[in-house]
Amino acid sequence: MNSAFLMRSTTVAAVLFASGFSAQAGRSCEAQPATMEGVQRAMQLAERTSQKLDQSGAQVVVLARIGQNLSEYGLRYSHLGFAYRANQGAPWRVLHKLNQCGTATADIYRQGLGEFFLDDMFEYEAAMVIPTPEVQAKLLPALQDNERVAQLHTPSYNMVAYPWSLKYQQSNQWAIETLAMTQYPAASSRERAQSWLKLHDYQPTTLKINALKRLGGRVTAANIAFDDHPNEKRFSDRIETVTVDSVFAWLNRSGLGGAIQTIR
């Protein structure tokens, strides 16, 4: 991946947003112009999040937003990334993977908190889990290294990618595979990162998606596919994928992170 792409400044990214640049993860891809109220609420949430992050004493947190309504599947949050800062007093940045709307590809982005919450929020609420100091210490240098964060990135995007396949990679999946890579030096490939996640009892969410919905999704959306899922699960309407809720539960259960903290 081009390192210049990863290093886009806040100013450049803001111009892209204002000019209609369209990337998404965990939200709908419908073109909707930004409203003054939406911008104000996003900036308020960004400010409150920044304050919460400052008070946490952490250098890296796993940060989530509600980009679309997933209540049908019993899920609260739709998308996560790593919020980090290099040192005390430095601005918080968010590193995450975004799908380019209407396509089957995605890239890695660095954004400010404001940009992170400007991305067509369904509900103005954030949540975070603070990793242990040991996990943070291994994550932080990697998050600042363009080559490291792109090491396990697969551009082929699938919103419901199977967690134990290498064919596609969705946003939350990139995040936990990257986390695994930083914690286990031998995890130099996606396959090894997934093995580490299995060994440490990561459990994906199982969505109930019937054949009609699967067919409709595959026909109408380039960023939804089911052909990476095992037939015995797919044909019994069990679609396993990496969700924010499952990642948060795993971080807490495994002792790699603390409790969920919400920000409204």
Mean pLDDT of 193-201: 98
Mean pLDDT rounded to a whole number for the chain: 85
The backbone torsions φ and ψ at residue 253, rounded to the nearest 5 degrees and listed phi first, read -65, -35
Helix (H/G/I), strand (E/B), else coil: 29:
coil
pLDDT of 61 > 80? The answer is yes
**pLDDT score of 6:** 41
Task: Domain of residue 146: give its range.
Answer: 3-263
Mean pLDDT of 139-155: 97
**pLDDT score of 1:** 36
**pLDDT score of 213:** 57
With beta carbons less than 8 A apart as the criterion, state whether 131 and 60 touch: yes
Smallest CA-to-CA distance from 217 within 109, 104, 108 is with 104
Joined together, the tokens standing for residue 80 give 């996560």
Contacts with 70 (C-beta within 8 Å, 6 or more apart), sequence order: 76, 77, 78, 243
**pLDDT score of 210:** 60
Return the percent helix, strand and coil in the chain, to nearest 5: 40, 20, 40
- Its sign, for the CA torsion 106, 251, 183, 198, is negative
Contacts with 235 (C-beta within 8 Å, 6 or more apart), sequence order: 211
How does pLDDT run across 104-133, given as a tens digit for each residue?
999 999 999 999 998 778 999 999 999 999
Smallest CA-to-CA distance from 254 within 176, 201, 182, 198 is with 201
How does pLDDT run across 17-44, given as a tens digit for each residue?
322 334 544 444 555 667 888 899 999 9
Least confident range from 80-94, 140-154, 219-233: namely: 219-233
How does pLDDT run across 64-111, given as a tens digit for each residue?
999 989 998 999 999 999 999 988 889 999 999 999 876 899 999 999
With cut-offs at 50, 70 and 90, classify the pLDDT of residue 233: confident
Q: Measured between alpha carbons, how far apart are the two ends of the chain, in Å?
A: 35
Smallest CA-to-CA distance from 49 within 65, 34, 37 is with 65
Alpha helices in 69-125 (DSSP H): 113-118
With beta carbons less than 8 A apart as the criterion, state whether 165 and 154 touch: no
Global confidence as pTM = 0.85
β-strand pairing of 93-100 with 106-112? antiparallel
Distance CA 92, CA 112 (A): 7
**pLDDT score of 212:** 46
Domain count, the chain: 1
